[in-house]
């Protein structure tokens, strides 16, 4: 896109979405709280290594958002070291965060590295990250100060229109995957499309609704099962 056209589109879109979207990957909970992780316990990722749904009655507020926990012990652990358990980049997809994009989140796609917990928008985001974890984390750390306090829709649109110098498109990522893993198929997963993810839906919709993956649901808001407190969420490709 030519520079002038890019500027015109950016200005027009900014009028529509400036300030839109939460700064962290939250959804509105049953009591109107900005709920993180679709109600999953942030401490359980470290203690049991699984995405475990917390209880709305065992909760803690931190930095303007709310977390649910499976036990009082986990809540107390969070209270003592909230920074340790707080999701990196506000729980937005790490592979997108490397480009300054705050888009996509799935509580079942995560990794813990060097004591930090990272989340991905889907299995595709995780595969892209695995191509070069250190590269992704380094760039995400670099650009996060710019993105942190900006609403996710505006920040993502801004960086789609004005890409970071190290941006890699889908073809480049797929080619790198093929080169690193000859003969291994790219995951057959439909991410839903940019327009849907950026403008028509909330960024957690695929995991919550089960678009192309098992339904995760939102604890305290969606039917149980599957969104039952104390249960483990099923990830893409896992058998029930």
Separation between Cα atoms, residue 137 and residue 133, nearest integer Å = 6
Asked if residues 54 and 41 have their Cβ atoms less than 8 Å apart, the reply is yes
Mean pLDDT for the stretch of residues 42-71: 98
Q: How far is CA 60 from the centre of its chain?
A: 20
The pLDDT confidence band at residue 8, using thresholds 50, 70 and 90, is very low
- Percent residues over pLDDT 70 in the chain: 90
Mean pLDDT of 156-160: 95
Q: Give this prediction's pTM.
A: 0.90
Please say if the pLDDT value at position 196 is more than 60: yes
Measured between alpha carbons, how far is 149 from 167 in angstroms, rounded to an integer?
Answer: 21
Confidence label for 202 from pLDDT (cuts 50, 70 and 90): confident
> Is residue 175 over pLDDT 60?
yes
| The pLDDT of residue 2 is above 80 | no
Q: What is the pLDDT of residue 194?
A: 86
Report how far residue 67's alpha carbon sits from residue 147's, in angstroms, rounded to the nearest whole number.
22
Please determine, for residue 23, whether its predicted confidence score (pLDDT) is greater than 70. Answer: yes
């Amino acid at each position: 896109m030519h520079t002038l056209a890019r500027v015109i589109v950016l200005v027009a879109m900014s009028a529509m979405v400036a300030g839109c979207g939460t700064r962290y990957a939250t959804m509105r909970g049953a009591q109107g709280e900005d709920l993180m992780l679709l109600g999953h316990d942030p401490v359980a990722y470290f203690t049991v290594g699984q995405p475990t749904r917390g209880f709305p009655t065992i909760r803690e507020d931190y930095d303007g958002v709310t977390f649910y926990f499976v036990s009082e012990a986990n809540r107390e652990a969070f209270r003592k070291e909230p920074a340790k358990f707080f999701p990196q980049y506000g729980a937005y997809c790490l592979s997108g965060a490397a480009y300054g994009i705050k888009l996509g989140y799935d509580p079942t796609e995560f990794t813990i590295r060097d004591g930090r917990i990272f989340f991905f928008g889907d299995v595709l985001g995780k595969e892209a990250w695995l191509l070069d974890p250190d590269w992704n984390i380094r760039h995400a750390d670099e650009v996060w100060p710019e993105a942190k306090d900006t609403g996710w829709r505006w920040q993502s649109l801004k960086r789609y229109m004005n890409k970071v110098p190290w941006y890699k498109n889908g073809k480049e990522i797929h080619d790198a995957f093929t080169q690193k893993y000859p003969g291994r198929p790219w995951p057959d997963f439909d991410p839903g499309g940019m327009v849907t993810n950026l403008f028509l839906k909330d960024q957690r919709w695929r995991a919550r609704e089960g678009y192309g993956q098992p339904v995760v649901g939102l604890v305290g808001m969606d039917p149980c099962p599957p969104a039952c407190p104390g249960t483990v969420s099923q990830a893409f490709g896992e058998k029930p």
